[in-house]
Amino acid sequence: MAKTLKFCAAALLLLMLAACSNDPWQLKNISGLVPDLSFAMTDDTGRAVDARTYRGDIVLLYFGYTHCPDVCPTTLARLDSALHAMRERGSVRVLFVTVDPARDTVPVMHQYVDAFGPEFTGLRGTPDELHKLAKRYRVTYSAGKPDARGDYDMTHSDGVFVFGSNGHGRLMILPDDDAKKIAADLDRLAAGG
């Protein structure tokens, strides 16, 4: 009994120490929490792509839609300024997955991501492919009620998943993380951190 108690106390102490140890990352560390990057979709040039296409790159995965009034453009702009602030930006690929494939056709996606820069790729999947990818990362999306003109808003996730060049989930960019923080951690990741 006393032995068990001692063991529990030791285990608890270790846990607390682990929690206190300084995490070198400024962004949310998700190592081991999410499955490796895996999907099969069509990119904004109409090419069939999957996770292997982007092996070797640091991948930033973000779910949104081009009719998005505020959150998506500001998030993408923030990522863009983070990329500009990086020391070495060539190894980063931003994958913008549309949760609204009905309106976001391949040409619409192409025009949209083109405005942000060459590191940005738009991805469009069939409803089934999109469902699979969202469920894999435990995120969701849904369409709101259409107004008189048939326009509608979508709910979608706010976070950006960051995968290492080997496809392992590493970090998560949250809405409050600024470009400087993001750039610092991406540089660190690119340097093999």
Q: Which tokens sit at 148?
A: 């008189």
Cα–Cα distances in angstroms (integers) from residue 28 to residues 54, 86, 161, 172, in the given order: 22, 18, 10, 5
Minimum CB separation of residue 190 from other proteins in Å reads 24
Minimum CB separation of residue 14 from other proteins in Å reads 17
What is the 8-class DSSP label of residue 188? Answer: H
Distance (Å, whole) CA 171 – CA 60? 9
- Contact between 26 and other proteins by CB under 8 A: the answer reads no
Choice between 2 and 191, CB closer to other proteins = 2
Choice between 89 and 164, CB closer to other proteins = 164
Interaction residues for other proteins, span 80-99 (CB under 8 A)? none
Minimum CB separation of residue 121 from other proteins in Å reads 21
Q: Which of 71, 72, 122 is nearest to 93 (CA)?
A: 122
Looking at 2-160, list the stretches that DSSP marks H as alpha helix, in order from N- to C-terminal side.
2-20, 71-85, 106-114, 127-136
What is the 8-class DSSP label of residue 35? Answer: P
- Contact between 33 and other proteins by CB under 8 A: the answer reads yes
Minimum CB separation of residue 135 from other proteins in Å reads 9
Interaction residues for other proteins, span 119-138 (CB under 8 A)? 134, 137-138
Choice between 120 and 141, CB closer to other proteins = 141
Cα–Cα distances in angstroms (integers) from residue 1 to residues 5, 15, 160, in the given order: 6, 21, 47
Stretch that binds other proteins, among 49-57, 102-110, 115-123, 172-180 (CB under 8 A): 172-180
Q: Could you list the residues that contact other proteins (CB under 8 A)?
A: 1, 28, 30, 32-34, 63, 134, 137-142, 144, 153, 155-159, 172, 174-175
